[in-house]
Chain A
Amino acid sequence: MSFESEQHADDYWKENLRLMLTLLVIWFAVSFGCGVLLVDELNAIRLGGFKLGFWFAQQGSIYVFLALIVVYVHKMNQLDRKYNVHEDHEEPEEFEEALEEEFGQ
C-alpha cells in the first residue's frame, strides 16, 4: 500500500469519486440535457445564426467534453500530489540519489 494509512486511501478514493461524479453530471447536462431533452426549449434562444439547442447538440457539447477532460487531468494531478501517490519525481529522485552517492555530495 502506497498510502500512509487506510484512512488516506479511503479519502483519496472518495475525493476522486466526487470529482468524477461532478464532471459526469456536467457531461450529462450538456449533451443529454441541452443537446437532447431540452433542445426544443433552447432552440427558442438564438446564438447568432445558431439556435441554441442545435448549437449544443452539434458544437457546444463537444467543447464542454474537452474542457471536462482538461479539468479532470489538472485536478487529479493535484489530488495525486496531495496524497503523495503521484508518479512524477520517482525517477529523478533515484537519479539524484545515485548522483549523490557517486559524488559524495
Chain B
Amino acid sequence: MDIQTLTFLIVGATFALYIAIAIWSRAGSTHDFYVAGGGVNPVANGMATAADWMSAASFISMAGLISFMGYDGAVYLMGWTGGYVLLALCLAPYLRKFGKFTVPAFIGDRYYSNTARTVAVICAVFVCFTYVAGQMRGVGVVFSRFLEVDITTGVIIGMAIVFFYAVLGGMKGITYTQVAQYCVLICAYLVPAIFISIMMTGHVIPQIGFGAELNDGSGTYLLDKLDGLSTELGFAEYTSGTKSTIDVFFITAALMVGTAGLPHVIVRFFTVPKVRDARKSAGWALLFIALLYTTAPAIATFARVNMIDTINGPDAQGTSYEQAPSWISNWESTGLISWEDKNGDGKMFYSGDERNEMKIDRDIMVLANPEIADLPAWVIALVAAGGIAAALSTSAGLLLVISTSISHDLLKRNLMPHITDRQELRYARAASAVAICIAGYLGINPPGFVAQVVAFAFGLAASSFFPAIILGIFSKRMNKEGAIAGMISGITFTALYIIYFKFINPAANTPDNWWFGISPEGIGTLGMILNFVVASAVARFTSDAPKDVQELVANIRFPKGAGEASAH
C-alpha cells in the first residue's frame, strides 16, 4: 500500500475512535460540560492534561526548533516542563480545594470584585484564541502534506471533528477523547525515534542513544560528530548555542511561569475528585509530557545529523539534485524546503555561511524525519495521525475555556445571573460553536504573526494570572486593589514591550536595544516581577482583604472537606 492510502486509513481510524468516544461520553449538565462531572481518575486526567498541553507546536515544531537552535532549545524543554512543578506545588491543590470551574471564577471570588473577574475573562479569551489559531494551522499543514487536500479543506475537516466532540461532550467528551489522542500522539512520536535510535546508535532508548557512540564503527559520539559538523559548516557548536545567558534565563522563566498561569491547563485540575488527586494528577501529567519532551532533543539531534548527511553527502561536498532523496521533492511541493544552485554545480549544499544553497523550514523536521531516515510507510502515516491528534486535543481544550469563560463567568456571573443550568449549557455550546468558527477562520487566514503571538500569550499569562493566583493563595491580606493594580501593570508593561519590538519597530528587535538584554520572548518574567512588586506595594497602603475572604483563604490551605467543583 502506498503512503497516502495508509495515511487515510490510519487517520480515518483515529477520527472514528474520537467520534465514538464523544458519543459515549455526552455531557448532560453544566457540571459534566465544565469539569467532566468532577470524577476523572488522576491517571486519565494526567493523560488528558498532557494531550491538552502538548499542541501542534510541541509535536510538530519543537524538535525542529531544537534541531536548529542546539543548546538554546533547552528554553522550551525546561520552560514547558518546569511549569508543572510550580503547578503541582503552588497552584493545583489549592485551586482544587477552592472548587470553582474556571480561573476567572477564582480571581473574581478571591478578590471579591467583578472588575477583576472581567479582566481575567478578557485575558483568558485572548490567550486561548492566539493559541487555537496556531493549532488549526497545524491541522491544515498535516492535511495538505499527507492527504494532499488543500489547507482550507484540511482546516474545515479539523473544525468539524472538534466541533462534534467539544460541543457535544464538553469537558467530559474532551477529557476521554484526549486520553485516546495522547496514546496516538505518543506512539507516533516514540516509534520513529526508537527506529532511528537503533539505526544510528544501536540503542533502543532514544534518550540514551543521542548521547551514545555512532554504530558506524568510528567510535565517535553522536553529539561530538554533530558539534564537528556544525562548526565545519559555519554554524554555532550544537551543544553551546548562541543566546546570551540572561536571555536564556528569562525566556525559560517566562515559559515556566506562563505554563503555570495558562487557563486551559489550570482548569484540568478541577476535574479530579480530591485535592490529593490534583497533586497526583500534576505528577502523572508531567510524566506523560516528559516522555515526549525528553525524546524531542534526541529526535532533534538524529534529524539534524541525518539531514546534513543526506544533503551534503558522505564526502561533505554536496549531493547532486538529480539523485536527491524523495523527501526533498515531496516537501519542495509544499514550499517548506527550497534549493537554489548558487555555484551552478548541480549539487545541493547546506551550511551556515555563504556556501549555503538550501532553505529549510524548521517545522518539517518531525514530519519529514521518518522519510529522511527511510522508515516504513506506516510509520510516516502514524506520524501524520499523531500531529493531527496533538493539534485537535489542544484546540478542544482551548475552545472549552473560551466557551466556559463566556457562558459562565461573563453571562451567568455577570450579565444574566438568572439563567437555568439548561440555558447556561446551551449558551456554553453556542459559545464553543462560535469560537470554533473564529478559530477556523484564523487557521485558514492566519495573521502573519502567529508565531510571535505565542510569545505574547505566555508573557500575558505569566505577567497577569500567575502573580494574582499565587498572592491569592499565599497572602491572606492581599486585597483587590493590589491584585487589580498588579495585573494591569504587569500585563501593560509586557504587552507594550512585545508590541513595540514585534509590531511597531521590528527593525530594532536586536539584543543591543533590549532592556538588560532580555528578548520580547522573555519579558513576561520581568512583567511578573513588576506585578508582584506593584501588588504588594498597593496592598500595603490599602485596607486588608475582608474577614470572610481571609477565612476562605485559610480554608483552601488544607485538603479536608473538598467538595466537588461547583458553580456557586
Contact = CB atoms under 8 A, between A and B. Distances in A.
Interface of A: 1-3, 9, 12-13, 16, 20, 23-24, 27, 31-32, 35-37, 39, 43, 47-51, 54-55, 57-59, 61-63, 65-66, 68-70, 72-73, 76-77, 80, 83-88, 90
Given A2-B560, A36-B249, A57-B71, A49 B286 contact: no
B212 interface: yes
A85 B559 contact: yes
B370 interface: no
A21 to B, nearest CB: 9
Nearest to A73: B279
B559 A80 contact: yes
Given A23-B85, A23-B89, A49-B213, A77 B73 contact: no
Interface in B329-349: none
A2 B561 CA distance: 8
Given A57-B78, A65-B85, A85 B276 contact: no
A76 B276 contact: yes
A87 B93 CA distance: 12
Nearest to B238: A54
Given A69-B88, A72-B89, A86-B559, A62 B290 contact: yes
28 contacts: A9-B558, A23-B85, A23-B89, A27-B85, A36-B245, A36-B248, A36-B249, A43-B239, A54-B71, A54-B239, A57-B74, A58-B66, A63-B290, A65-B84, A66-B286, A69-B279, A69-B282, A70-B283, A73-B276, A73-B280, A73-B283, A80-B559, A80-B560, A84-B560, A85-B560, A86-B276, A86-B560, A87-B275
A90 B275 CA distance: 13
Nearest to A3: B558
Interface stretch (B7-15, B189-197, B219-227, B494-502): B219-227
A24 B89 contact: yes
A49 B558 contact: no
Contacts of A76: 93, 276, 279
B564 to A, nearest CB: 12
Contacts of A57: 71, 74, 77-78
Contact of B74 (A35, A68, A85): A35
B78 A47 contact: no
Contact of A32 (B93, B223, B249, B279): B249
A35 to B, nearest CB: 6
B558 A12 contact: yes
A83 B212 contact: no
Given A39-B245, A50-B223, A66-B283, 12 more contacts: A32-B249, A32-B253, A36-B245, A49-B211, A49-B222, A57-B71, A65-B84, A73-B276, A80-B560, A85-B558, A87-B559, A87-B562
B245 A37 contact: yes
Contacts, number: 141
B252 A32 contact: yes
A27 B559 contact: no
| 6 pairs of A and B residues whose beta carbons are closest in the complex | A49-B221, A57-B74, A49-B211, A69-B283, A85-B558, A85-B560
B23 to A, nearest CB: 31
Interface of B: 66, 71, 73-74, 77-78, 81-82, 84-85, 88-90, 93, 207, 210-213, 221-224, 239-240, 245, 248-249, 252-253, 256, 274-276, 279-280, 282-283, 286-287, 290, 293-294, 297, 554, 557-562
A23 B283 CA distance: 14
A12 B248 CA distance: 37
Interface of B is mostly: helix
A35 B293 CA distance: 15
Contacts of B274: 87
A47 B275 CA distance: 39
Nearest to A2: B560
Residue from the set A47, A51, A88 with the largest chain B CB neighbour count within 10 Å: A51
B67 to A, nearest CB: 12
Nearest to B253: A32
B293 A77 contact: no
Contacts of A39: 71, 245
B189 to A, nearest CB: 15
B252 A48 contact: no
Residue from the set A37, A48, A70, A87 with the largest chain B CB neighbour count within 10 Å: A87
A86 B560 CA distance: 5
A83 B557 CA distance: 13
A31 B558 contact: no
B537 to A, nearest CB: 23
Contacts of B248: 36
B293 A49 contact: no
A38 B84 CA distance: 23
A59 B301 CA distance: 13
Contact of B211 (A12, A55, A80, A85): A55
Contacts of A55: 211
Nearest to B208: A48
A61 B279 contact: no
A50 B563 CA distance: 48
Given A57-B77, A65-B84, A9 B554 contact: yes
Contacts of B77: 57-58, 61-62
A92 to B, nearest CB: 13
B252 A31 contact: yes
Contacts of A31: 78, 82, 252, 256
Contacts of A47: 211
